[in-house]
Amino acid sequence: MIFDIKLIREFYSEFENKMNAIKKTINRPLTLTEKVLFSHLASSLNNFERGKDYVNFYPDRVAMQDATAQMALLQFLQAGRSQSAVPATVHCDHLIQAEIGAIKDLDNAKKANKEVYDFLESVCQKYDIGFWKPGAGIIHQVILENYAFPGGLMIGTDSHTVNAGGLGMVAIGVGGADAVDVMVGLPWELKFPKIIGVELTGKLSGWTSPKDIILKLAGILTVKGGTDCIIEYFGDGTKYISCTGKGTICNMGAEIGATTSIFPYDEKMAKYLISTNREEVAKLANQNQSHLQADPEVLANPGNYFDQIIKINLSELEPHINGPFTPDKAWPLSQFAQAVKKYGYPEDMEVGLIGSCTNSSYEDLDRAASIARQAIEKDLKVKSEFTITPGSELVRYTVERDGQLDLFEKIGGVVLANACGPCIGQWKRHRKEGEKNSIITSFNRNFAKRNDGNPLTHAFVASPEIVTAFVLSGKLTFNPETDYLINENGEKVRLEPPTGEELPKDGFEVEDLGYIEPNKSSEQIDIKVNQSSDRLQLLTPFEKFDADLFCNLKLLIKVDGKCTTDHISMAGPWLKYRGHLENISQNLLIGAINKFNGKTNSVRNQLDDNYGEVPVVAKAYKESGIGSIVIGDENYGEGSSREHAAMEPRFLGVRAVIVKSFARIHETNLKKQGVLACTFKNKEDYSKILESDNFEIKGLSEFCPNSELILIANHENGEVSKIPLMHTYNKTQIDWFYSGSALNLIRESN
């Protein structure tokens, strides 16, 4: 069975004519990004101004993972629809905690999360949504194997939805409210992105892998260099990279803030489609190949068509290790040992973890297994703990059949469930907290506390091959390209560069994909939520705009430095409350650093002049009928797409979030939930905000695109600061704001 085949056939049957009409109207060569976006427009075609104009699109499909799907579907239940307007799926991958091993951990998750899984499955059955059971695999790997197709447009309630760019798709991470828009049949709005062209030349070899391309690019662009941009890869170097390798590169585009990333369609993608039993899709894409890559004129003169050009010579690229605490601190392997010593990173490596949505393909595991095979042959044993996370049941079953899992286990590796696990903090790690230590992963993010909740865990990101080599040394200062290891016989041995197959020679094989089709008799299905549940809670609409709500505001917190969605709404143990807004709001901003005392989860309560936990103080203001504001630094809301980071402040009475700059998804999520999202016109005004200020926001009754708002800060000494604010709201978004949320507007229209 090929999922969405009717949709895909219709798409390609119209694609040629659409492209001809688009080129006639635009009358210039087009990048691949423009071809995909223009072919999905919900409005008339125009030469949109990149980075400025808001444009409406009709995505082909929606994907949701179990943690974010809960809130997305709770919102969808209020929208008044009988089924999803587009193909949609839910994937149960986030709620499985890694502790012992795949079988036991999956069994524990099914018991602990039964209420949530039953809820998600019942909603899927009733509203014509595909359901992927716990253990089926990580959403992005499953999407690449079953749903992604070249030239398509998809949104997903996870920031790493962008993984599907490895199969030539524009796939964008969004909040649940955006997903609801599309599922009810409305167009989806996006600021037309700028386009960064990354030209790849040469060919990877030795220890260097596709992961190293994005690790290097993260060092070039930093965590916000791709904000409001799509990264489009081109050049001869692209054709040597496997489809799943391309997916790895696109996946971590989320770590540089990119809206998404995309590769041109090529033979590697065709082979992957055929290998995953989608030969018909490959044939259709082959017939449209010229439209699934940038025009020749663009490739000949890229500087005329991209907003920025970056060149990477793959033949000269070194393996990289990025971190700690941020994914853009990039170290070439040859410089990493020196950096470890210079900055005092813990040299002993306690755990190496491979897999995750970024690096869990057949090729990833086969190349890592080639290192394990060498270890057995050369009498080497692991010096660190070692975990392996397959990306899907399709991959797991196949690598078990082909022997890679056996190699990992023979050197001391533990195979975890086909789930996110330690990558998102779902890791019951058996060690003392509060001690400095180092781990290396093939994951994508390495924020403080991200993996195990310990702020002193130094997490580094590398390719699966490098991680596997490092567990045989147990030292961060090891360089597999140049250093020897001492085996069990006291002999000096060297590791050879990894090797591996892109795709299994005998094809993929699986007994149970883990997919459940929607019920054709959906009217018989009741969606029930127990009122006493601590996991699920039906939503109550947020209140509409009232100018009085923006007077006499208190400062909840002035955040110092990096504030990701992990800081705003932590994952890990809090994932269990993703379907219960009141309960999960108890983690609001508990990881953010207060500018005034340098502490986390400690802010001044102006009602009693004592310091308290952030959610406790927010709740005290709310119960007293007082609104609050949050002040933030640069790239506020970096990281995950989780809309809980926007819904929680809204639920606890935060009226406005005012920062130096926003990450794209979080700014949109705030707008969707009716929270005023603004930036300082002059970033220096951040310093004018004092701990005991009272605030008022002027100009909201005349709120319109490009209007200027004024934050009135009444200081304790009687002085007043009038601080100009900027915003990016358009007319539709202002309607969301006045209605109280985007969902309120949908509900009213239905």
Q: Where are the alpha helices (DSSP H) in 173-257?
A: 176-183, 210-221, 243-251
The amino acid occupying position 162 is V
The amino acid occupying position 390 is P
- 654-659/628-632 β-pairing: parallel
> Exposed, middle or buried by CB within 10 Å (0-12, 13-18, 19+), for 102?
buried
Residue 93 among the catalytic residues: yes
Distance CA 84, CA 62 (A): 9
- 260-262/229-234 β-pairing: parallel
The DSSP code sequence of 570-609 is --GGGGGGTB-HHHHGGGTTTTSBBTTTS-BS-EEETTTT
681 CB contacts (<8 Å, ≥6 apart)?
Answer: 708, 723, 724, 725, 726
Residue 236 among the catalytic residues: no
Distance CA 252, CA 267 (A): 23
316 CB contacts (<8 Å, ≥6 apart)?
Answer: 202
- By C-alpha distance, which of 179, 162, 181, 190 is closest to 71? 179
The amino acid occupying position 745 is L
179 CB contacts (<8 Å, ≥6 apart)?
Answer: 62, 64, 72, 76, 88, 155, 156, 157
Residue of 94, 450, 535, 578 with catalytic role: 94
334 is written with which tokens? 């040859």
Residue of 61, 396, 578, 642 with catalytic role: 642
Distance CA 206, CA 228 (A): 34
Distance CA 114, CA 42 (A): 39
535 CB contacts (<8 Å, ≥6 apart)?
Answer: 113, 115, 116, 576, 577, 579, 580
Residue 366 among the catalytic residues: no
Do the beta carbons of residue 244 and residue 145 sit within 8 Å?
no
> Exposed, middle or buried by CB within 10 Å (0-12, 13-18, 19+), for 229?
buried
Distance CA 322, CA 212 (A): 10
Residue of 140, 429, 445, 655 with catalytic role: 445
Residue of 640, 641, 739, 741 with catalytic role: 640
283 CB contacts (<8 Å, ≥6 apart)?
Answer: none
Residue of 158, 364, 402, 685 with catalytic role: 158
Residue 494 among the catalytic residues: no
Residue 367 among the catalytic residues: no
Which helix H or strand E contains 26, and what residues bound it? Answer: helix 5-26
Neighbours of 675 (CB within 10 A): 22
Distance CA 18, CA 39 (A): 6
Residue 445 among the catalytic residues: yes
- By C-alpha distance, which of 83, 213, 96, 86 is closest to 156? 86
Do the beta carbons of residue 91 and residue 142 sit within 8 Å?
yes
Do the beta carbons of residue 117 and residue 134 sit within 8 Å?
yes
């999520």: which residue's tokens? 669
147 CB contacts (<8 Å, ≥6 apart)?
Answer: 3, 4, 61, 63, 89, 154, 164
476 is written with which tokens? 């961060």
3-state SS string for 220-243: HHCCCCCECEEEEEECHHHHHCCH
- By C-alpha distance, which of 240, 97, 82, 94 is closest to 156? 94
- By C-alpha distance, which of 240, 214, 235 is closest to 317? 214
- 485-486/437-441 β-pairing: unpaired
Q: So which residues are the catalytic ones?
A: 93-94, 158, 445, 640, 642
